[in-house]
Amino acid sequence: MDFSETLTVGVLTPHATPGPDVEMPNMAPGRVRVEVSRIRNAASGTSGTAGSTSAEDLRRQARPALLDEAVALLPAVDVLAFASTTSGYVLGHDEELALVKRLHERWNMPVCSASLSVVSALRSRHVKRISLVHPPWFGLLLNELGAEYFHSQGFEVVDARLADLPDDPSHIKPAMVVEWVAQHLCDRAEALFIGGNGFQAARAVHDLERRTGRLVLEANQVLLWSVLKNAGVSMAVQGFGKLFDRQPAGIKTRER
C-alpha cells in the first residue's frame, strides 16, 4: 500500500442510513475516503435497510455469500470495515471474529468490524466498567444483546440505555446527544460507548469527554481508529476524543 495516498476504506453495511461514509471523512478530511457497499437483503431483494433491522435479517445479511457479493461491488480499497454494531450484537463476539477472519482470508486485505473494534479499544485503555447508550431505533432486544455482547468479553456493563432522542437519525444533533448522555451517565462507568453506526454522534465525543471526564467511544469513531490500526497507518485525528491521543506502537506514520 502506498502510504502517501489517501486511505480508501471499503465499508460493508446492511443499513441504508448514512453513517461511516459521512463521519469517517469528517474526522480525517482529505486523508480518508469511504466507498460503501450495502449488503443485499436476500429476503426483500433490496440493498440496505432503513430504520430498525430485525435480528433475523441482520444474521441473514452476514452470510458469507452476501458479504462477498457486497465486497465484489466495491472499487479498489485498502481496508474493509464491516459497519454494523447491531450485527455484532446479534452474531456475538466469536461469530463476528470468524466473519472478519474469513473476509481477510478471502480478500487478502485488512478487515475490521464495529463491535470488535470497541472491545479492542476498551482493552487498549484497560477499561473494565462501561456504560452503553444506543439510539431509540435499536429497541429493547438489541439494547439487551449489546449488554450481553460486552459482558461476554469480561466487561462490567454498569448501564445500557436507549437514548430518549428523536427516532429519525437526521433529526439528532450533537448537542442533543451531549446533554442527554451527560445527564444519564452512570457514575460507576469508566468509559462510555455510543453504539449505532447510523447514530452519527462522533461530533459529540469531545464535549462529552470534557463534561464527564470519561473515555467516550462512538461507533464510527472507534471503527476509524480500528481501520487505521489494522491498515498500519498513523495519522493525527483531532477533536474526536482521547482514543486518538496515542497510536499503538509499531505502526507506520502516514505521510502528508
Residue 149 and residue 27 in one domain: no
Note whether residue 251 is domain-resident.
no
Which of the 8 DSSP states describes residue 47?
A: B
In a domain, 107, yes or no: yes
Q: State pTM to two decimals.
A: 0.90
Same domain, 103 and 194: no
Secondary element (H or E) of residue 228: helix 219-231
Closest CA to 192 of 162, 220, 215: 215
Q: Are 22 and 69 in the same domain?
A: yes
Let me know if residue 196 belongs to a domain: yes
On whether residue 233 sits in a domain, the answer given is: yes
* Residues 53, 168 within the same domain: no
Q: Note whether residue 248 is domain-resident.
A: no
- Distance CA(3)–CA(234), nearest Å, equals 10
Give dist(CA 229, CA 147) in Å, integer. Answer: 25
What is the Cα–Cα distance from 120 to 17, expressed in whole angstroms? 25
Looking up residue 23, the CATH number of its domain turns out to be 3.40.50
135: how many CB neighbours lie within 10 A of its CB? 28
Question: pLDDT tens-digit profile of 16-34?
Answer: 889 999 999 999 999 999 9
Please count the structural domains in the chain. 2
Based on the fold, state whether residues 20 and 100 are members of the same structural domain: yes
Examine the domain organization and report whether 230 and 207 are in the same domain.
Answer: no
Report the alpha-carbon distance of residue 13 to residue 61 in Å, rounded: 9
The per-residue pLDDT for 250 is: 37
**Which amino acid, residue 121?**
A
For residues 130 and 57, state if they share a domain.
no
Residue with cell 474526522: 27
Task: Evaluate whether residue 253 is within a structural domain.
Answer: no
Distance CA 256, CA 240 (A): 20
- Chain segment 146-194, per-residue pLDDT in tens: 999 999 999 999 999 999 999 999 999 999 999 999 999 999 999 999 9
In this prediction, residue 249 carries a pLDDT of 42
How many whole angstroms separate alpha carbon 125 and alpha carbon 244?
11
Residue 249 lies in a domain: no
Confidence of residue 49 (pLDDT cuts 50, 70, 90): low
Q: Which of 115, 218, 144, 213 is nearest to 174 (CA)?
A: 218
Element (H, E) at 131: strand 129-134
Tell me the residue range of the domain where 133 lies: 118-219
Answer whether residue 41 shows pLDDT above 60. yes
Cα dist. 173→51, 192, 198, 199, 216 in Å? 18, 18, 13, 10, 17
pLDDT band at 254 (very low <50, low <70, confident <90, very high): very low
Pair (51, 63) in one structural domain: yes
Residue 71, in any domain of the structure: yes
CA 22 to chain centre: 13
